[in-house]
């Protein structure tokens, strides 16, 4: 019997290759590293992101978050603006081009994932979702 780790690795590789090789994938920011993409994705999903909320979501120190934020601002990926209620708080906003990049890649990944899970029944998809959520909570 194949080990789960081997099956997972093969599945991951296949999905990643389908995603990366898709002509629908956004290529607006080819200079973005995989780590940058990860941090941009976190910022994309955060509501009213601040340096502190970003550091917590990324599981990094506040000084490391500050360095990343400054680099993203310099690269034109992100803007920073003070809160209207509390000037000590600054909110982080991805630029429109980066938000579009994220949205396009999310749509593509959803499409690739739906294509990959099409072999499963609705019940199997629900069970897979439950299992993946359980694993994700432990990581």
* pLDDT exceeds 80 at position 2: no
Q: What is the CATH number of the domain that holds 76?
A: 1.10.10.10
35 and 10 in a common domain: no
85 and 35 in a common domain: yes
67 and 44 in a common domain: yes
pLDDT in tens, 67-101: 999 999 999 999 999 999 998 999 999 999 999 99
pLDDT in tens, 48-62: 999 999 999 999 999
Number of domains in the chain: 2
100 and 89 in a common domain: no
Distances in whole angstroms, Cα of residue 81 to Cα of each of 36, 76, 104, 118: 21, 14, 25, 43
User: Angle 34-45/96-117 helices, nearest 10 degrees?
Assistant: 100
Q: How many CB atoms lie within 10 A of CB 94?
A: 19
14 and 56 in a common domain: no
Contacts of 77 (CB under 8 A, 6+ apart): 29, 36, 40, 94, 95, 98
Question: How many whole angstroms from its chain centre is CA 115?
Answer: 20
35 and 80 in a common domain: yes
90 and 35 in a common domain: yes
Write out the residue range of the structural domain in which residue 120 sits.
1-24+96-139
């Amino acid at each position: 019997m194949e080990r789960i780790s081997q099956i997972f690795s093969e599945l991951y590789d296949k999905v990643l290759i389908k995603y990366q090789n898709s002509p629908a994938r956004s290529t607006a920011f080819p200079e973005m590293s995989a780590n940058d993409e990860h941090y941009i994705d976190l910022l994309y999903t955060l509501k009213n992101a601040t340096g502190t909320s970003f550091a917590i979501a990324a599981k990094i120190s506040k000084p490391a978050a500050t360095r990343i934020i400054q680099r993203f601002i310099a690269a034109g990926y992100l803007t920073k603006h003070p809160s209207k209620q509390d000037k000590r708080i600054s909110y982080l906003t991805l630029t429109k081009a980066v938000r579009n990049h994220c949205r396009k890649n999310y749509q593509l990944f959803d499409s690739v994932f739906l294509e990959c899970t099409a072999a499963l029944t609705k019940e199997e998809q629900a069970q897979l979702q439950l299992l993946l959520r359980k694993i994700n909570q432990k990581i």
